[in-house]
A and B are shown apart, each in its own frame.
Chain A
Amino acid sequence: MLRYTLLRILGAIPTLLLVIAIAFMMVHAAPGGPFDDDRALPPAIEENIKRYYHLDEPLPKQFLRYLSGLVRGDLGPSYVHVDYTVNELIADAFPRSLKIGALAMALALLAGLGAGTLAALRHDSWLDRVVMAISMTGISIPVFVFAPILVLLFAVKLNWLPAGWTSSSGVSRYLLPVVTLALPQIAYIARLTRASMIDVLQRDFIRTARAQGLGTMNVVWLHALKPAMLPVLSYMGPAIAAILTGSIVVEQIFGIGGLGHFFVNGALNRDYTVVLGIVVFYAALIVFLNLVVDILYGAIDPRVRYR
């Protein structure tokens, strides 16, 4: 198990380097820098700024400088929010995104696994069909359609929940963003779980467990859940990416000052270090979470571990 984990960690490093390199190249290959605005700066000042930010150096050297900063955990200064470093911006915004994202993920897993398992156990019943119809709707409606419709319904028409983030405090303001973000994932995980649970429940070892008189609860809990969760586990990588993507919209619609919000603003204002910093940060996060998923996979399936 230790060997497997170490191998996985080693394998993740080149991926991460590649991502950083691509993002860095993209930003620096872009025509037009952060400072060529409508109002042209005097050349001397521009020179100074460029020197200050080391933009006058050759690209490979800049990249190495950036990398060495990364190793020390330094993502550089923001070009637009002059008094802030990218680290500070991320440290300020990420906790909000994390809370909402993690809650959405937890909700998606809980509701998705539950609904999928239930549907599989009652395969071909009305319950199964209802769960499947709802989840088909869920995977077919994008977050940016869901969010405004829920706001229209619960905040504007019924006035049950706050529409914005800043206009209220407490638990109620989490409800809409988390649910919107989680809904498509609940639907997807429910479908995955159902399909794989139906498949697992037909396997011979489940028949053995039933023949041993373990009872449905024990059969599902002890024997079926682990293997049935494997496809869901594999989906965690894409799910995390989808939640990060979704958070861009959700943070915009609900006015939450999270990372997604900063990313879009940074992109529109050409605040390259911020944009690059967030991409690198998210890429590292995704690579890290994928690593966790891989290791969990090995923990569940012994045949993978010993390979």
Chain B
Amino acid sequence: MSLLEVDNVSIRYGDNTVVDDVSFSIDRGESVGLVGESGSGKSQTALSILGLLSRQARFSGRIRFDDVELDKATEEQLNRVRARRIGMVFQDPMQALNPYLRVGRQLRAVLRCHELATAAECDARVMEMLERVGLPDAQRQFRAYPHQLSGGMRQRVMLASALIAGPDLLIADEPTTALDVTVQAQILELLEEIRDDTALLLITHDLGIVAGHCERMLVLESGRLVESGPTTAVFAAPQHAHTRALLAAVPRIDRVDIPPPATGQSILGVDGASVSYRERGKQRLQAVKGVNMSLRCGETIAVVGESGSGKSSLVRAMLGLVPMESGRVVYAGTPLEGPVERRAREHRRDLQLVFQDPASALNPQMRVRNIVSEPLLVHEPGLSARARLKRVNAALEQVGLADEYLLRYPHELSGGQAQRVAIARALILGPKVLFCDEAVAALDVSVRQQVLDLLQRVQADTGLSIIFISHDLAVVRSISHRVLVLYMGRLLEVADNAALFSHPRHPYTSALIDAVPVPDPVVAPKKAPLRGEVPSLLNPPPGCVFHPRCEHAREVCSATLPPMRDIAGTRVACHRADEIDLSR
């Protein structure tokens, strides 16, 4: 008999069916991946297992866990199953842990409520669990509040709280989505290592994670289970069209068609850019330090880094949205100085930005037509209303939106449509350089691919140059000509796309590439993930900022800042770049 059996489960909110007749089962000790895009009903399915749906939800179907009929269970019966038999890990540990309670108390509450330990034993048990999930200095973290921990540490605590009562099944709902890619790799490895014979239901949108960590997988599409089977079989021969589409949409970091290097003239250059912010008190937070780059006509440069790498600050400083501490920006031979308000009109026309979150980037009180036409009012005030409308229509057409969207408000658009509107606004003046700040990070894979295709098409048509900020190396691999790797505000490596991924010169670049989950279950197992997390920017390590996490570090690395040097066309800032071979 299987451990968990989900039979004909449907969940409705009013007339809206979010989960439609889903059935599956999980055996003891088995790991199962539940995959789908946003709105596919994967989280709702998971919540229904533990009876955690909101009161508006209407549930039908049967859920049996071992010998308990969960769908018919009373709240008390459910409470005996929760934590003790089924543990759950949620997506964002910042939100999912109580910010007002010390970490130790939150874990102790689980033991005490289930009467699994006497008050005297509790603390020792909690401490032991915190050590098992790899929390350094567990004694101190026991008394810490969640906000005092780093993202990765918080997720370790979350994992500890889900496993402390020794459950038979662990449900993990997007457990690494809010984390940086190197930390994601650590948490996934920990998950494997620590769960022993606990069964795992792993909910994710990332096919790479499923490929690496699940024996079986289930694919949901708008509430319906469209495919299930052993992971290797599904990847080898997907049966359903949606699974095939999903697999096709994921850029494969290991085998993707990369664009050929661009050969245009330099259009935009940055020299020694530094940005710092004033923190409370007199401390200065050095977000960007001494970054150089140069962008060619028709080229796409990707700026890659984890959170705190300074990639957004760099771009914002170039555009004059935040002040630059030192350094110069040169556009088409003229220096750009001061805040954006004081820059020449044509420069503001030529440099445009697309934001990560289209919901925040579009004024909720304006219709699409007014949003897209606003730049025209500023830069081409002489235009007649009819001519303006024509231009707006053309811009919308360019991004693949019909004129039926003209009168809509942003909240009436889907995420992908809203991002297209934002791109149309950025393109309507015919800019020369487009900055994209995580412009596809908030989008589902299928929509993401369409937006990436759109950008590449516009580039081919108009010779647009693009600076593409991203944390996602697979996306970067598929779209960019050259790549800049930033870490703690420092430029560590600049290389052509092909060279960077086959012959990374910096150990950090190499670790980043290794950390990306490859959506293929048969690819050889990964190397050990990078240890540690990004240190505080208020207190950067001396010498090479990466040395505390670097397995190749020597004494010199902690003593002196490595200079930027040229090795076979790649610029790299590492003392040992010529000694170590990281190529793959």
Contact = CB atoms under 8 A, between A and B. Distances in A.
Direct A–B contact present (CB less than 8 angstroms): yes
B230 interface: no
A42 interface: no
A213 B79 contact: yes
Interface string B393-418: 00000000000000000000000000
Contacts of B113: 212-215, 218
B161 interface: yes
B100 A216 contact: no
B96 A301 contact: no
A205 interface: yes
Interface in B158-216: 158, 161, 165
B326 interface: no
Contact of B81 (A203, A213, A300): A213
Interface in A182-241: 203-205, 207-216, 218, 222-223, 226-227
B90 interface: yes
Contact of A211 (B83, B101, B148): B83
Contacts of B92: 204
B95 A211 contact: no
A307 B158 CA distance: 25
A3 interface: no
Contacts of B105: 222
Contacts of B47: 207
Interface residues of A, number: 24
Given A213-B79, A215-B113, A208 B97 contact: yes
A303 interface: yes
A208 B90 contact: yes
B99 A213 contact: no
Interface string A276-307: 00000000000000000000000011110011
A301 B99 CA distance: 8
Contacts of B100: 226-227, 300-302
A306 B149 CA distance: 13
B88 A211 contact: yes
Nearest to A124: B55
Contacts of A218: 109, 113
B82 interface: yes
Interface string B471-487: 00000000000000000
A301 B81 CA distance: 32
A306 B76 CA distance: 38
Contacts of B88: 208, 211
Contacts of A227: 99-100
B82 A211 contact: yes
A216 B113 CA distance: 11
A208 B155 CA distance: 13
Nearest to A218: B113
Given A204-B92, A216-B75, A303-B147, A210 B97 contact: no
Of A213, A214, A216, A303, the most chain B CB neighbours within 10 A belong to: A213
B277 interface: no
A205 B52 contact: no
Contact of B96 (A207, A214, A216, A306): A207
Nearest to B80: A213
B96 A205 contact: yes
A297 to B, nearest CB: 11
Interface string B51-93: 0100000000000000000000001101111111000101010
A205 B97 contact: yes
A207 B52 contact: yes
Contacts of B34: none
Nearest to B50: A211
Given A214-B110, A214-B113, A218-B109, A209 B98 contact: yes
Lowest 3 A-B CB distances belong to which pairs?
A: A213-B82, A204-B95, A213-B79
Given A213-B83, A301-B99, 9 more contacts: A205-B95, A208-B96, A209-B98, A211-B50, A212-B109, A212-B165, A213-B81, A213-B82, A303-B147
